[in-house]
Amino acid sequence: MAHPFATLTPDLVLDAVESIGFLSDARILALNSYENRVYQVGIEDSEPLIAKFYRPQRWTNEAILEEHQFTFELAECDVPVVAPMIHNGVSLHEHAGFRFTLFPRRGGRAPEPGNLDQLYRLGQLLGRLHAVGATKPFEHREALGVKNFGHDSLTTLLEGNFVPKSLLPAYESVARDLLKRVEEVYKATPHKNIRMHGDCHPGNMMCRDEMFHIVDLDDCRMGPAVQDIWMMLAGDRQECLVQLSELMDGYNEFHDFDPRELALIEPLRALRLMHYSAWLARRWDDPAFPHSFPWFGSERYWGDQVLALREQLSALNEEPLKLF
């Protein structure tokens, strides 16, 4: 069967944008996106718009609208975020079976790894994000947990026969040992789930005109605040400690961070490693994935994963990072 995105042609994209009242100039540029499909569409006598077409059957309408509402709340509190455009009174549109949303075009560059001045400002931005996120829960979006990101990921990989037979015993063994340790740390670590970004890597915190803004809340969900923090850190342990101190100085100006959550950094990193492999597996029927990730089925990739999970298991037994 053809993949659902196979019918999302450039003409259909232009027709969708014009179906809600915009007049395109027929210029279209596909942007880097795998989970969804995102395009820059030229508009007659105006700035181009960004059109995001949601992957069919991934989110319910209620979950997508909940993401939009969270973004609107952030914008209303003057948190710099690229929010969906409301057109004809709505932010979620449909055309030819595809749900889509329009955004203003907002460029920028990712933060520099280890830049302490930028980390302080990023901390401020994350603190403001979480101050809004902590005011109420999501009702239609799942929480990040050991089961869905860990155990379900392992099930996907094993039942789908994605791991080469030569490496299957080693991968399954270390993955199960790792998940057991992750569960132990999770249970022993006090933490509170709040609405958070969910995929807060540096590429989703863009800088333009010396100001940072948040983009792409497609993966927003309930989870511990530290999930949006640890991906801002880079380098060895000592470098991370210095960076964390700067990040938290900015963060705590706007929202109180519970330092006990720092013990979840390595468990969350472990879950992200496994979830990423399972994400590739679940999307393998999408032609864009074999084309863009040809190494996924190779023994080298899975050998590297076995080593990465072993290193992660070792990291879980080390002393967690602590604030100065």
Q: Which amino acid is at 174?
A: V
CA distances from 200 to 100, 128, 240, 270 (A): 22, 14, 17, 16
Q: Which domains does the chain have, with CATH numbers?
A: 18-102 (3.30.200.20), 114-314 (1.10.510.10)
Catalytic, 236? Answer no
CB of 219 within 8 A of CB of 199?
yes
pTM of the full structure: 0.94
Residue 87 has a pLDDT of 92
Residue 208: predicted pLDDT: 87
- CA-nearest of 238, 227, 235, 234 to 263 is 227
pLDDT at 311: 97
pLDDT mean over 144-155: 98
Q: What average pLDDT does range 178-203 have in this prediction?
A: 96
With cut-offs at 50, 70 and 90, classify the pLDDT of residue 2. low
Q: What residues form the annotated binding site? A: 204, 216
Determine how many CB atoms are found less than 10 A away from the CB of residue 269. 17
Q: Report the pLDDT averaged over residues 14-36.
A: 95
Tell me what pLDDT residue 107 has: 83
Query: What secondary structure, in 3-state letters, does the chain show?
Result: CCCHHHHCCHHHHHHHHHHCCCCEEEEEEECCCCCCEEEEEEECCCCCEEEEECCCCCCCHHHHHHHHHHHHHHHHCCCCECCCCCECCECCEEECCEEEEEEECCCCECCCCCCHHHHHHHHHHHHHHHHHHCCCCCCCCCECCHHHHHHHHHHHHHHCCCCCCCCHHHHHHHHHHHHHHHHHHHHHCCCCEEEECCCCCHHHEEEECCEEEECCCCCCEEEEHHHHCHHHCCCCHHHHHHHHHHHHHHHCCCCCCCHHHHHHHHHHHHHHHHHHHHHHHHCCCCCHHHHHCCCCCCHHHHHHHHHHHHHHHHHHCCCCCCCC
pLDDT in tens, 84-102: 999 999 999 999 999 999 9
229-247, pLDDT tens digit by residue? 999 999 999 999 999 999 9
Average pLDDT score, the chain: 95
Instruction: Tell me which of 11, 25, 45, 199 is the catalytic residue.
Output: 199
Q: Residue 1 pLDDT > 70, yes or no? A: no
Query: Looking up tokens 């190779």, which residue turns up?
Result: 298
Which residue of the set 25, 177, 216, 256 is catalytic? 216
Alpha carbon 99 to its chain centroid, in Å, reads 20
Average confidence (pLDDT) over 146-162 = 97
Q: What is the dihedral of CA 169, 170, 175, 178, to 10 degrees?
A: 130
Is residue 152 part of the annotated active site? The answer reads no
Provide the pLDDT for residue 323.
86
pLDDT at 227 over 60: yes
Binding residue positions for Mg(2+): 204, 216
